[in-house]
Amino acid sequence: MRTAIQWLDEYGASHRNPTNEILHWICVPAIEWCVVGLLWITPFPFAIHAAHPEINWATLAVLAAAAYYLFLSPRLALGALAMLLLMLWSVDALARNAPAPLWMIFTVTFVLAWIGQFIGHAIEGKRPSFFKDMQFLLIGPIWLLSNLYRRAGIRV
């Protein structure tokens, strides 16, 4: 089993170009937010949802991601959980006042963000890490967070 540092180092190896990094700072959070949003609007089949609408696919996915991050690094898990909770809050707020159908907002943003990711990798000249291992889809957000931690002097 790889450590958090090994995952982050391997992910970082294909994210050295400054333009690719900038695109990742924009696109990775956008993609993550869209996934949370799309899961939020996906019908939840269990009766508990009627009494507690905050229990849905998005909240379950956030809890699963937080558990995965906790396994890798408790410090990163705390930061990731804070960001994921902020995303849940913003999706809920948008759901209450959406200027357009939610599925359209999340889908268009998701597609545009992935186009940005692929442009960044074309500039970098390296394939996205998730082509090698799908777990890298979960590593991208904490790679960004680990960069913030490093700048703040917080150990991963």
Report pLDDT for 51.
80
Residue 50 has pLDDT above 90, yes or no: no
Residue 7 has pLDDT above 80, yes or no: yes
Report pLDDT for 49.
74
Separation between Cα atoms, residue 28 and residue 48, nearest integer Å: 32
Full residue range of the structural domain in which residue 101 is found: 4-152
Separation between Cα atoms, residue 125 and residue 69, nearest integer Å: 29
Residue 46 has pLDDT above 90, yes or no: no
**Phi and psi at residue 13, to the nearest 5°:** -60, -25
Report pLDDT for 146.
98
Using alpha carbons, list the distances in angstroms from residue 136 to 17, 49, 81, 140, 143.
18, 31, 18, 6, 10
Cβ-contact 46, 100 below 8 angstroms? no
Q: Bigger pLDDT: 109 or 53?
A: 109
If one counts the domains in the chain, the total is: 1
Confidence band, pLDDT 50/70/90 cuts, at residue 52: confident
Q: What is the pTM of this model?
A: 0.93
Report pLDDT for 1.
82
pLDDT digits (tens, 9 = 90+) for 86-139: 999 999 999 999 889 999 999 999 999 999 999 999 999 999 999 999 999 999
Burial (CB < 10 A; 0-12, 13-18, 19+), residue 72, is buried
